[in-house]
Amino acid sequence: MAHRIEAALKESVRDARGERIKREIGHFLHLPVDEVRTIDVYTVDAPLTQEELQQAAAGPFSDPVIQEWSIDRPLAAGFDFAVEVGFRPGVTDNVGRTAREAVEYLTGRPFAAGEGVYYSVQYLLKGAFGVSDVERIATGLLCNTLIQRYSVLSAADFMARRGYSPLVPKVLADIKTEVREIDLNVSDAELLRISKEGVLALTLEEMRIIQAHYRDPRVVAERAKVGLGAGPTDVELECLAQTWSEHCKHKIFSGTVQYEDEQGNTQEIKSLFKSFIQRTTKDVRAKLGDRDFCLSVFKDNAGVIRFNDRQSLVFKVETHNSPSALDPYGGALTGIVGVNRDPFGTGQGAKLIFNTDVFCFADPFYEKPLPTRLLHPRRIYEGVVEGVEHGGNKSGIPTVNGSLVFDERFAGKPLVFCGTAGIMPLEINGKPGYEKSIQPGDLIVMTGGRIGKDGIHGATFSSEELNENSPVTAVQIGDPITQKRMFDFLIRARDKALYRFITDNGAGGLSSSVGEMAGECGGCRMDLAKAPLKYPGLNPWEILISEAQERMSLAVPPERINEFLAMAARFGVEATVLGEFTGNGVFHVLYDGRTVAWLPMAFMHEGLPPMQLRAKWEPPRHDEPAVEVKGDYSDDLTALLSSLNICSKESVVRRYDHEVQGGSVVKPFIGVDNDGPSDAAVVRPILDSFEGVVTAHGICPRYSDIDTYHMTANAIDEALRNYVAVGGSLGLVAGLDNFCWCDPVLSEKNPDGPYKMAQLVRSNQALYDICMAYNLPLISGKDSMKNDFYDGSTKISIPPTLLFSVIGKIEDARKAVTMDVKRPGDIVYLLGKTGDELGGSEYFALKGAIGNKVPLVDTGRSYRRYQAYHQAVMQGVVASCHDLSDGGLAVAAAESAFAGGYGISLDLSQVLWKGDVAGRSDAPLLFSESASRHLVTVHPDKRDEFESVMSGNCFASIGVVTAEPVLAIFGLNGAAVVRAGLAELKEAWQKTLREL
Amino acid sequence: MKKTRAIVITGNGTNCEAEAAHACRLGGFDEAVIAHIAEILSGEIRLDDFHFLNLTGGFLDGDDLGSAKAQANRLKHAGVAGTGEKLVEQFTRFIAAGKLILGVCNGFQLMVKMGMLPGFDGDCLTQRTTLTFNDCGRFQDRWVYLKADPASPSVFTRGIGRGIYLPMRHGEGKFLCDGTATLERIEREHLAVLKYSGPDYGAATMEFPLNPNGAQHAIAGLCDPTGRLMGLMPHPEAFVHYTHHPRWTREELPEEGDGLKLFRNAAEYVREHLLV
């Protein structure tokens, strides 16, 4: 019989968790609430004595200073309604798992199979509301019904029933491990039904290819030898669906595109990935010659570049959009702990040194109606922010750089980009650290978490648009501590050469990880019955494709297996041998000795012909708004500073540990009050060295409304100019491209597919052009191609978005430059020219317009200027530098001024202009987002030195830092067009998201 | 010549082991060993072979049962393989031998929940205080001014002038006592080594964000009456060089960061008192 142990705060103790819920009830649901108190509930389903229960309650389950506890007796009192929220069966319950371990330490007895501890929270609400209000609170705030269950009791019901009775959310399933054979000798309509109902995300053409494979008499004969029938087993079909999913196979990026430009010129592109992304890296590397620093690109889980003579840097950025739309907390948490496994599973394994996060959301204050099934943007915001907070902080990896980007269309799908970098010795046990191999005979070993039904069909479901029937099981909850334990063990095992190959278990689970590993040596033989399960009742296909988290797959030489397993046991990490690698060309899967899948590797990996795609570019024409001419733009500036895309994100950033590991050099917030926004991050991964790693990013989806070519060019330029601003070296910097697109495949429900595909082609063209000019090799990336919501009536597609991240080096981190002005009297320079380029700007967005004149990147001039500026930084003559992006010069000047605590006085007539002089006026000078510009301050003593280093480049002295705390900008006619106090500007910038 | 030896325990969610070991070395320890808890439970590494124990920052067991609770339970009940002794006995022996323990953040939470602090009358296994959720309800990473008590017995803060500036990074740092008697005794015996204050290190403050968590009497750090055991929520190992300081690009700062002093004091104490 199960027991309930409750732990409640003593009456005198403030309940911070309850107070937060109370605030949110008022804020979100506009319901008056007097008080919210909370109680922790542990449901113990194991045979413990009364004394042991008391020891657990008084020991690990409660804090004697602030809590009281009870066993099988409710502690709740003085409330109107109680809501108890716990997990649904099978959902990862981290607190429950830790509680169970604590009881095991107490009693010295391990739990038997099927026993467990389950965690839930009881919320006690006091206020004048009815049952329906409480239901709204429960479903709207306290509980995500996809993964959690809840139960509401009024005070009267609670008394009558003497509180809640123990509820054990154990997975109850029939223990039958079934393998079905699927008949593919059916009509096309039936083939499509099989794909749709099975969430296989396979097209008719793909289903036909599979059908043809199974009709091949040689295949039938080979299958008969291993005891399989003519049709595919469910294990095989599911495995193919994973391997061939858009998520895993990148069919759009590897497809053949017929592209037609606005003049009707046509071009056939065989694989965007090969033609643009891979070619960029190949050509940049050739151009760099013996200065090439790339070590491993595109072939592993993350890219690897040289850092110094002994160490390399590893970096990967991923997205986790679809799961975050359904369960923002779990989806985002899984996103960050998932991307951690990429650098960890690169080469022989890297130590993780920092995370980066970029989130794209709709307005958290959104007040219009939303389609059912879409969560409110504020809930997504809260959940994602908290998920990444827990994932990053608990893993002990500093979150050093990121952004929040807002656009209403992200209501259809939020974008959650999570990046992780690592450091890895160039040589490990006498071999290159970034290389690994598998030999036939090596053992297949899985380490870390157990397998459950969580995350089944994650890869295939994210390859479709979000719809009302998106599967519940696609969501997982990450467990950073299980993963941390595994990493602590594996990094030590790496240094003892206990394994030969390591990779991550992510999308597609074992079918992907072992499938790809088998590709390294030519086959494998694996028995799924050996895999450790969270609970019984999983069918073999579910075991094969489950995306249950915190797992790595390894190849362990047979002679090291005993040492490997013994060390795993000592470190409390589960490790299981599932089979061995072979060289017979077959992905061979068994269940308890019986063959359940027998797939020729060649068919699995190369059986799919390239997708055929149409792309037609028709440049959009937007209304060209008249630029308002007025005498004072101060109000426009404060409105821009308060806008969601520009305002301070400090309330979010402070929730992320950006200093753990002890190498922080340039933090996210700097300046006289530690609250000015940094352009890029600098960290020292080796504590007794001053070599710094610099990371930055660029993202500007608004420009996609005009032309994705320029969106991409600006994103890359923004990343590089942020990187350059703090002192990053142009000699060692690499890029990562993360494409998040709306579905570009023409279909009945997607009639503008060819336009979106053309947007993708143009983005890739820019990627090649700009990276070549900037000597930026692409070392890794990812695409997520189905960021749409469609419920049959409403369709929301995100704006095409490229996140461009850069990673590189500053030789001496003590030379880094920050964006806050330093001293009155310093000269203010603007590097680069400004043009009439308000198209897609924040300024136009403020006025409800888009415009057409998108900023154009002039890579030749900017690259030379970036090089000269870097020289100035190395000579120590730069006092501050801030990049110009959203909101243009006026916003950058305001930020630098209030960050430094001194005023700035600027003269717009001194600003260098490019293009038609007819467009030169105060508004574009203030707010144009022309690319490649920096606002720099220099001490008057260093003036000559700075100007001499910069000579031959476009730059101008445009003003001075002042003691008076005022931003004063003088217009073309000599009168002040902006005059505002720093306190007022800072308040405008800080107030928008301060309370979130 | 005998060596000064520091140990940093890691595993199950400890995150700051590398920089803590680095700070020990910079502070003057001849050796700083990072030991995984598995290596201690297996008997490979013994606390007895060290002089200075670092319980450092992280999220032990995810702080799932409240910060550091599960580890406190583990240390009390887990046995060391092949010895027949519980791990907690190594701890009490270490303390009885007059050696030093510094708990930072999660390590401070662990010391408090095991009862090592405030450690009245040599009782290091009775919990009298706690560290719980910040009043603001959220994890915070920000720098704080810590006013030092010059009359404190702590060996770690000797020679610190008015105060030190350090980063805090926690969600559960609000210090609370089990009653006024405990709080009064802490104050009377000058055990509240460090308190949150303004930039002048003047009066202790309850004002957010200077006091980021709402700690009782603004207490940020606590020592036992011997001064050899100390814990604090902010991170001294995260400010050992001027480039750690959030304003290093605009202020003239000495080469060494404020946090290093704690490790220098520990190394000096070990050399003077424990190397015999």
* Predicted confidence (pLDDT) at residue A365 exceeds the cutoff of 60: yes
CB A892 within 8 A of CB A959: no
**Residue A245 has what pLDDT?**
82
Which stretch, A137-151, A189-203, A410-424, has highest mean pLDDT? A410-424
CB A419 within 8 A of CB A339: yes
**Residue A549 has what pLDDT?**
87
Cα R_g (chain A), whole angstroms? 29
Strands (E), A569-668: 575-581, 586-591, 594-600, 612-616, 664-666
Give which of A278, A287, A478 is closest to A389, Cα–Cα.
A478
Instruction: Judge whether B13 is closer than 8 Å to chain A, CB to CB.
Output: yes
pLDDT digits (tens, 9 = 90+) for A407-454: 999 999 999 999 999 999 999 999 999 999 999 999 999 999 999 887
**Residue A507 has what pLDDT?**
83
Q: Which of B18, B62, B132 sits opposite A662 (nearest CB)?
A: B18
User: Hey, of B24, B75, B77, which one would you mutate to test binding to chain A, going by the most A CBs within 10 A of its CB?
Assistant: B77
For chain A, report the end-to-end CA distance as a whole number of angstroms: 43
Q: Is A239 helix (H, G, I), strand (E, B) or coil?
A: helix
**Which CA distances in Å does B212 have to A571, B59, B138, B172?**
35, 19, 10, 10
Marked catalytic residue, from B19, B172, B177, B235: B235
Give which of A491, A639, A398, A974 is closest to B235, Cα–Cα.
A398
**Residue A616 has what pLDDT?**
97
pLDDT band at A609 (very low <50, low <70, confident <90, very high): confident
CB A456 within 8 A of CB A470: no
**Residue A744, Cβ neighbours under 10 Å: how many?**
25
**Residue A175 has what pLDDT?**
64
B85 assigned to active site: no
Task: Decide the pairing of beta strands A612-616 and A256-260.
Answer: parallel
**Residue A506 has what pLDDT?**
83
Give which of B200, B144, B170, B19 is closest to A674, Cα–Cα.
B144
List beta partners, residue A356: A401, A419
* Predicted confidence (pLDDT) at residue A373 exceeds the cutoff of 80: no
Measured between beta carbons, the chain A residues lying within 8 angstroms of B243 are 665, 684, 690, 813-814
Residue A661 to residue B18, Cβ atoms within 8 A:
yes
Residue A658 to residue B36, Cβ atoms within 8 A:
no
How confident is the model over A247-272, as a mean pLDDT? 93
Any idea which residues of A carry the catalytic annotation? 247, 320
CB A991 within 8 A of CB A642: yes
B229-232, strands of its sheet edge to edge? B31-36, B5-10, B52-55, B100-104, B229-232, B219-223, B194-197, B140-148, B163-170
* Predicted confidence (pLDDT) at residue B218 exceeds the cutoff of 70: yes
pLDDT band at A467 (very low <50, low <70, confident <90, very high): low
Task: Decide the pairing of beta strands B163-170 and A903-907.
Answer: unpaired
Phi, psi of A951 (to 5 degrees): -60, 145
Instruction: Judge whether B240 is closer than 8 Å to chain A, CB to CB.
Output: yes
* Predicted confidence (pLDDT) at residue A850 exceeds the cutoff of 70: yes
Instruction: Judge whether A98 is closer than 8 Å to chain B, CB to CB.
Output: yes
**Residue B137 has what pLDDT?**
86
User: Angle CA(A313)–CA(A316)–CA(A322) in degrees, nearest 5?
Assistant: 165
**Residue A548 has what pLDDT?**
86
Q: How many residues does chain B have?
A: 276
pLDDT band at B276 (very low <50, low <70, confident <90, very high): confident
Out of A429-443, A602-616, A708-722, which region has the weakest mean confidence (pLDDT)?
A: A602-616
pLDDT digits (tens, 9 = 90+) for A858-889: 999 999 999 999 999 999 999 999 999 999 99
Q: Is A987 helix (H, G, I), strand (E, B) or coil?
A: helix
**Residue A455 has what pLDDT?**
74
The domains found in chain A, sorted by start residue, are 3-161 (3.30.1280.10), 188-245 (no CATH), 611-647+818-996 (3.90.650.10)
Alpha-carbon span B109 to B16, nearest angstrom: 14
Q: In chain A, what percentage of residues exceed pLDDT 70?
A: 98
CB-neighbour burial class of residue B65 (10 A; exposed 0-12, middle 13-18, buried 19+): buried
CB B71 within 8 A of CB B100: no
Q: How many residues does chain A have?
A: 996
Instruction: Judge whether B221 is closer than 8 Å to chain A, CB to CB.
Output: no
Q: Domain B5-274 carries which CATH code? A: 3.40.50.880
User: Angle CA(B102)–CA(A490)–CA(A306) in degrees, nearest 5?
Assistant: 95
pLDDT digits (tens, 9 = 90+) for A899-932: 999 999 999 999 999 999 999 999 999 999 999 9
Alpha-carbon span A942 to A958, nearest angstrom: 16
pLDDT digits (tens, 9 = 90+) for B84-109: 899 999 999 999 999 999 999 999 99
How confident is the model over A507-519, as a mean pLDDT? 91
Q: Which of B65, B78, B140 sits opposite A95 (nearest CB)?
A: B65
Residue A659 to residue B247, Cβ atoms within 8 A:
no
User: Angle CA(A302)–CA(A308)–CA(A311) in degrees, nearest 5?
Assistant: 50
Q: Which of B10, B15, B73 sits opposite A60 (nearest CB)?
A: B73
Which stretch, A329-333, A463-467, A663-667, has highest mean pLDDT? A663-667
CB pairs under 8 A between A and B: 183
Alpha-carbon span B69 to B151, nearest angstrom: 31
Q: Where are the domains of chain B?
A: 5-274
Instruction: Judge whether A882 is closer than 8 Å to chain B, CB to CB.
Output: no
B16 assigned to active site: no
pLDDT band at A375 (very low <50, low <70, confident <90, very high): confident
Out of A240-244, A357-361, A525-529, A846-850, which region has the weakest mean confidence (pLDDT)?
A: A240-244
Marked catalytic residue, from B24, B105, B124, B223: B105
**Which CA distances in Å does A772 have to A253, A284, A313, A767?**
20, 6, 21, 8
CB B125 within 8 A of CB B92: yes
Alpha-carbon span A213 to A192, nearest angstrom: 17
ipTM score over 0.85, yes or no: yes
CB-neighbour burial class of residue A35 (10 A; exposed 0-12, middle 13-18, buried 19+): middle
Nearest-CA residue of chain A relative to B59? A394
CB B174 within 8 A of CB B151: no
CB B129 within 8 A of CB B176: yes
User: Angle CA(A531)–CA(A534)–CA(A538) in degrees, nearest 5?
Assistant: 65
Residue B73 to residue A480, Cβ atoms within 8 A:
no
Tokens linked to B155:
């060996």
Which of B 137-176 lie inside 8 A of A, CB atoms?
A: 137-143, 167, 169, 176
**Residue A28 has what pLDDT?**
79
Give which of A819, A851, A841 is closest to A929, Cα–Cα.
A841
Q: Is B251 helix (H, G, I), strand (E, B) or coil?
A: coil
**Residue B1 has what pLDDT?**
60
Q: In chain A, what percentage of residues exceed pLDDT 90?
A: 82
H-run or E-run covering A406: strand A399-406
Out of A144-148, A281-285, A823-827, B43-47, which region has the weakest mean confidence (pLDDT)?
A: A144-148
* Predicted confidence (pLDDT) at residue B237 exceeds the cutoff of 90: yes
**Average pLDDT across chain A, whole number:** 94
Give which of A212, A190, A191 is closest to A203, Cα–Cα.
A191
How confident is the model over A369-376, as a mean pLDDT? 85
Give which of A464, A361, A369 is closest to A410, Cα–Cα.
A361
Instruction: Judge whether A485 is closer than 8 Å to chain B, CB to CB.
Output: yes
pLDDT band at A463 (very low <50, low <70, confident <90, very high): low
pLDDT band at A753 (very low <50, low <70, confident <90, very high): very high
Give which of B195, B192, B196, B190 is closest to B222, Cα–Cα.
B192
Nearest-CA residue of chain A relative to B12? A485
**Residue A744 has what pLDDT?**
94
Instruction: Judge whether B127 is closer than 8 Å to chain A, CB to CB.
Output: yes
Instruction: Judge whether A661 is closer than 8 Å to chain B, CB to CB.
Output: yes
* Predicted confidence (pLDDT) at residue B207 exceeds the cutoff of 90: yes
CB-neighbour burial class of residue B210 (10 A; exposed 0-12, middle 13-18, buried 19+): middle
* Predicted confidence (pLDDT) at residue A458 exceeds the cutoff of 70: no
